């Protein structure tokens, strides 16, 4: 078959790594700069595969390209792909689930510590001429806290591993992980409401699905005790940002550390007006090492498929066991 593969998006500095791997397997890789499905459909020429970084791939894209054989995502989450539509059409979807586990876990811990120790606020105070350790209010030892981990997959467990040294009590909410497995990692299994009610710090690591979209909503914030710290390095849409802003205003959320927002980059976001909200630019995944691993993993998934092999990371594995239905 003609191995015409498209790479969409503008985040990467270049696509040299993927291009070399794909071409060594007998394919060709073309990079196109598009930001929407409509632009992709207009710009592309019936590819066999699409590698996407941030461009949404919905059923209109799949139906526009009758020879589409696979979709590859540069990243862990595949929420930009209509997975049901791909599965219905027999199109496998690949991802890169392990490339930034260390980075996201470390960044999460950095946000937790920055909030708990008021690092950014103290920095601003000193640069404005202040020198008062009490300027940001009372600070309690981290070891006195209970941390609630929402989503106990690979990243959540990496965060827990790092938190263990701080001697915190850890609650975990994940309907897909057994109590025995969580206990093995030093986590007490809790339902979502119990976690919200009993956690001093809540850190979010669940994938974005229809069941987790705005999981942390107004009702969740109302169930939390006063003075909670919320950290989100997963997906912005998991948290209702209007409800979060209101929770910050009334003091339910004392501090928030956010690496992701509903709109990126943000425009006129209320959360940016709060000194007690620390925001980083969806950077938790990033290190030069992680970037290299991301490009390599994505390229090798595609190369394996081109060679007729089973890629290492297939999200909807069932499609590989059935004949392609086509459009």
Active-site positions? 235, 264, 282
- In CATH terms, the fold of domain 3-99+288-321 is Rossmann fold (3.40.50)
- Residue 234 · residue 207 · CB < 8 Å: yes
Q: Where in the chain are the domains?
A: 3-99+288-321, 101-279
pTM confidence score? 0.94
Q: What is the pLDDT along the chain (327 residues), one digit of tens a residue?
A: 446 899 997 668 889 999 999 999 999 999 998 889 999 999 888 899 999 998 999 999 999 999 999 999 999 999 999 999 999 999 999 999 999 999 999 999 999 999 999 999 999 999 999 999 999 989 999 999 999 999 999 999 999 999 999 999 999 999 999 999 999 999 999 999 999 999 999 999 999 999 999 999 999 999 999 999 999 999 999 999 999 999 999 999 999 999 999 999 999 999 999 999 999 999 999 999 999 999 999 999 999 999 999 999 999 999 998 665 554
Residue 171, token pair as written in the block = 């609650």
Concatenating the DSSP letter of every residue in 68-101 gives --EEEESSS--TTB-HHHHHHTT--EE--TTTTH
Architecture of the domain spanning 101-279: 3-Layer(aba) Sandwich (3.40)
Q: What is the pLDDT of residue 1?
A: 46
Q: What is the pLDDT of residue 259?
A: 99
Concatenating the DSSP letter of every residue in 182-198 gives HHHTT-EE--HHHHHHH
Spatial CA neighbour of 102 closest among 312, 287, 313, 295: 287
Domains 3-99+288-321 and 101-279 agree in fold:
yes
Q: What is the pLDDT of residue 43?
A: 87
- Residue 64 · residue 36 · CB < 8 Å: no
Q: How far apart are CA 141 and CA 24, in angstroms?
A: 54
Q: What is the pLDDT of residue 13?
A: 82
């Amino acid at each position: 078959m003609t191995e015409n593969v498209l790479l969409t998006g503008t985040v990467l500095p270049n696509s040299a790594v993927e291009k070399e791997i794909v071409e060594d397997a007998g394919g060709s890789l073309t990079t196109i700069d598009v930001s929407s499905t409509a632009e992709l459909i207009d710009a592309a020429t019936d590819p066999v595969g699409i590698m996407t970084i941030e461009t949404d791939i919905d059923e209109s894209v799949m139906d526009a390209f009758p020879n589409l054989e696979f979709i590859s995502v540069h990243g862990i989450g595949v929420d930009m792909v209509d997975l049901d539509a791909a599965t219905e059409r027999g199109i496998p979807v690949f991802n890169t689930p392990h490339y930034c586990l260390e980075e996201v876990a470390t960044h999460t811990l950095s946000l937790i510590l920055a909030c708990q120790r008021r690092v950014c606020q103290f920095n601003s105070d000193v640069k404005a001429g202040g020198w008062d350790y009490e300027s940001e209010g009372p600070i309690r030892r981290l070891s006195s806290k209970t941390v609630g981990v929402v989503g106990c997959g690979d990243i959540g467990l990496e965060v827990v591993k790092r938190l263990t040294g701080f001697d915190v009590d850890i609650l975990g909410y994940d309907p897909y992980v057994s109590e025995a497995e969580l206990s093995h990692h030093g986590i007490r299994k809790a339902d979502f409401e119990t976690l919200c009610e009993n956690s001093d710090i809540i850190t979010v690591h669940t994938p974005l699905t229809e069941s987790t979209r705005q999981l942390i909503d107004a009702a969740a914030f109302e169930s939390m005790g006063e003075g909670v710290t919320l950290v989100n390095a997963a997906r912005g849409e998991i948290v209702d940002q209007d409800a979060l802003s209101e929770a910050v205003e009334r003091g339910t959320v004392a501090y928030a550390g956010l690496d992701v927002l509903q709109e990126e980059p943000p425009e006129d976001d209320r959360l940016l007006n709060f000194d007690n909200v620390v925001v980083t630019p969806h950077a938790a995944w990033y290190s030069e090492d992680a970037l290299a691993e991301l490009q390599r993993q994505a390229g090798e998934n595609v190369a394996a498929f081109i060679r007729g092999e089973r890629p290492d990371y297939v999200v909807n594995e069932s499609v590989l066991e059935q004949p392609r239905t086509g459009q």
